[in-house]
C-alpha cells in the first residue's frame, strides 16, 4: 500500500467527516496543520510518502526536489497556486485539484452576504438581545436603511458554475442579471444579459465577483473601476481577495461611493490586523467560509478520494499539470 500524508486536514475535516475511504487505499498520516513557511518541516512530514494531499500548505520547487519518492499531489481545493505545477511536472509528479464541489454552497453564501447587507440581521439580533426591543416605545425599530432587492440589477463578474448559480438565486429574488465573462455562451445568455465590464459597472446596483484570479483580474476592483460604478453600489466578493485593491475599496466605503461590501475573502489570509477594511464602515467580513458547509466538504472529500484512486489505477482525473 502507498504512503499517504495529509499536510493540513483540519479545515477539510475538523472531525465531522471521515478519512476512512483514504485509509482503505493506503497508510495515512493526517496532520491538522503544517507550518506554512517551514520548508524543512514540510519536507520532514512528507518523508517517503508517494501521495500528499494539501489545502494551503505550499509545495514549491525546493520542497518537491527534497521529496524524491513523491508521485502525486492532491490539492484539497479548486485553486492550486500553492503548488509549483511546472516543477512537479518536471519531476513526473501528477497534481490534481477538486473542481465544482462547492458551487451551491458558494453561490448561497454570496446571496447570504448580500441579504445581510440589505437587512442587517445580525446587528438587529444583537440589539434585541441587548434589551433595546424590550425598551422600545414602538412595536419595531431599525437602525439603518433596509433594502428590497426585487427590481434591482445585479452584475456578475465571471459567469461560470458559481456565477450562474448565483444568478438563478438572484433572479428568484426578482433581480435583473447582467454578466460579463471571457467565454459567453447560449446557456449563460438564457439566464443573464451579457455585457462588457464597463457597462456592467455602470448599470449594476449590486456587483458580485465570481471570476478566477489571473494577472488580468488582479486588482480588478480599484479606484478607476469603482469610479465607473453607480453611487451607492453594493459589492460582494467571495471569490478571491486579490481581485480588490483594498485601500481603494476602503476609501470608497468611507465616501459612500460604495454603500456596503460583503466579503468572505481578503488579500492576505488570515486577515492582517492592519488590513484597512477592518476599519471601513459598512463592510461585512467573514473568514473564507463560503465553501465550508458539511455537504460541500463531503463532496470535496469524495472527489479527492476518487482522484487518488484514479491516479493509482493509472487513470488520473482532474489533472492540472498534464
Look up residue 74 and give its three cell numbers: 492532491
**In this structure, are residues 199 and 178 in contact, taking their beta carbons and an 8 Å threshold?**
yes
Asked if 62 is an active-site residue, the reply is no
Q: Write the DSSP symbol of residue 266.
A: -
Contacts of 65 (CB under 8 A, 6+ apart): 87, 91
Catalytic residue among 168, 269, 272, 295: 269
Look up residue 239 and give its three cell numbers: 471569490
**In this structure, are residues 216 and 230 in contact, taking their beta carbons and an 8 Å threshold?**
no
Q: Write the DSSP symbol of residue 174.
A: T
Catalytic residue among 203, 222, 288, 309: 288
* Sheet with 283-285: strands ordered across: 193-194, 176-180, 153-157, 206-209, 233-237, 258-263, 283-285
Asked if 41 is an active-site residue, the reply is no
Catalytic residue among 45, 240, 245, 299: 240
Using alpha carbons only, give the angle 42, 45, 49 rounded to the nearest 5 degrees: 115
Asked if 309 is an active-site residue, the reply is no
Please give the backbone phi and psi of residue 226, each rounded to the nearest 5 degrees, phi first.
Answer: -60, -35
Query: Which residues are annotated as catalytic?
Result: 240, 269, 288
Amino acid at each position: 500500500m502507498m504512503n499517504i500524508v495529509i499536510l493540513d486536514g483540519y479545515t477539510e475535516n475538523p472531525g465531522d467527516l471521515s478519512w476512512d475511504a483514504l485509509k482503505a487505499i493506503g497508510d495515512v498520516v493526517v496532520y491538522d496543520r503544517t507550518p506554512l513557511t517551514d520548508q524543512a518541516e514540510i519536507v520532514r512530514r512528507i518523508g517517503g510518502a508517494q501521495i500528499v494531499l494539501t489545502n494551503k500548505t505550499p509545495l514549491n520547487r525546493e520542497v518537491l526536489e527534497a521529496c524524491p519518492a513523491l508521485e502525486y499531489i492532491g490539492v484539497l481545493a479548486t485553486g492550486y497556486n500553492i503548488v509549483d505545477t511546472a516543477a512537479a511536472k518536471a519531476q513526473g509528479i501528477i497534481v490534481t485539484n477538486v473542481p465544482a464541489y462547492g458551487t451551491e454552497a458558494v453561490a448561497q453564501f454570496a446571496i447570504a452576504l448580500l441579504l445581510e447587507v440589505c437587512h442587517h440581521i445580525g446587528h438587529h439580533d444583537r440589539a434585541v438581545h441587548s434589551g433595546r426591543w424590550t425598551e422600545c416605545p414602538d412595536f419595531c425599530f431599525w437602525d439603518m436603511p433596509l433594502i428590497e432587492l426585487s427590481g434591482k440589477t445585479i452584475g456578475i463578474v465571471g459567469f461560470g458554475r458559481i456565477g450562474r448559480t448565483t444568478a438563478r438565486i438572484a433572479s428568484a429574488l426578482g433581480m435583473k442579471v447582467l454578466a460579463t465573462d471571457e467565454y459567453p455562451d447560449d446557456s449563460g445568455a438564457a439566464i443573464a444579459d451579457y455585457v462588457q465590464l464597463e457597462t456592467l459597472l455602470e448599470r449594476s446596483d449590486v456587483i458580485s465577483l465570481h471570476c478566477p484570479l489571473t494577472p488580468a483580474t488582479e486588482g480588478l476592483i480599484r479606484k478607476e473601476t469603482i469610479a465607473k460604478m453607480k453611487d451607492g453600489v453594493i459589492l460582494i466578493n467571495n471569490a478571491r481577495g486579490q481581485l480588490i485593491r483594498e485601500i481603494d475599496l476602503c476609501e470608497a466605503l468611507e465616501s459612500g461611493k460604495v454603500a456596503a461590501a460583503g466579503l468572505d475573502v481578503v488579500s492576505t489570509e488570515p486577515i492582517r490586523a492592519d488590513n484597512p477594511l477592518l476599519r471601513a464602515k459598512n463592510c461585512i467580513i467573514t473568514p473564507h467560509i463560503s465553501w465550508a458547509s458539511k455537504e460541500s466538504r463531503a463532496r470535496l472529500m469524495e472527489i479527492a478520494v476518487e482522484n487518488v484512486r484514479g491516479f493509482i489505477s493509472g487513470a488520473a482525473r482532474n489533472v492540472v499539470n498534464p
